[in-house]
Amino acid sequence: MFAVVLARLSGIFMFAPILGSVTIPRQAKALLIATMTLVIYPTIDHAPLAMMKLDLISLAPLMLREALIGFCIGFIASMPLLSVEMGGRIMSQQMALRIAEVFNPALETESDGIGQLLLYLAIGSFIAMGGLESMFVALMTSFATIPPGGFLASMAPLDLILALAKSGLELAMRVSAPVVCLLLLESVLSGFLMKTVPQINVLTFGFPIKILAGLVVLASGLGAIHHVTRVEVEESIETLTIWAQAPIESATVGEDPGG
């Protein structure tokens, strides 16, 4: 029984914001998971598993299903943050800043300055709005709605995850749209200038103007980006709470949680 609770809690640490970061030492994660399991274990109902005969063969798939619950909670919570970071990568691509990419240990992938800036902005909003607390509240609620051993692979919220992916793509495009539109206009004007005044080498000053214009628009729109991010994070937390309270119903009803 203790291993089942441990598996469900470990799933959150696989993909959840902040908790899933590889910058946190594995020993610290293991200690935190074990400590929280000791706290949660006495508070849940042990009757469902007490009636089951568990051995090593049947325990392995059971723990995988339990870990899937925690993984779903972490994925739902992290989707707005990853979407905002993707919007920053789109802006960097249009501003020709992808050459300055660096390795981001928080995501275990290559990232750029703008993407990291927006990601940290989203993480700040997530923490300020109680995202971490909401994840663990949803986890505790899931023990009441889905007793240990009662989760099946068919209960995974696939429709909800697809709706979140769609909403995340829309968020990334909304975040990057002002910069992308301005740079498109700059490219059209540069092409027009190159054709009308061929003596001017557009490539000499084109990239500095593109970068400067993109940074100015980004700085001007940080307030709007922050507002949109807060709205998406709030809706993600609400969706997470609804799914934890009624996972089967919300998996089929929640068609567009991000709006």
Domain locations in the chain as residue ranges: 2-253
For every one of its 259 residues, what pLDDT tens digit does the chain have, with 9 covering 90 and above? 677 788 888 888 888 888 877 777 888 888 888 888 888 888 777 666 666 666 667 677 778 888 888 888 888 888 888 889 888 888 888 887 766 666 655 555 666 778 888 888 888 888 888 888 888 888 888 888 877 777 766 677 778 888 888 888 888 988 888 888 888 888 888 778 777 877 777 666 777 788 888 888 888 888 888 888 888 888 888 888 888 776 544 433 334 444 4
- Contact (CB, 8 A) for 219 and 125: no
- d(CA 211, CA 199) in angstroms, rounded, equals 23
The β-bridge relationship of strands 102-104 and 109-111 is antiparallel
DSSP state of 150: -
- d(CA 126, CA 131) in angstroms, rounded, equals 5
Of 72, 79, 78, 74, the closest CA to residue 151 belongs to 72
- d(CA 239, CA 160) in angstroms, rounded, equals 9
- Contact (CB, 8 A) for 213 and 183: yes
Helix, strand or coil, per DSSP, at residue 104: strand
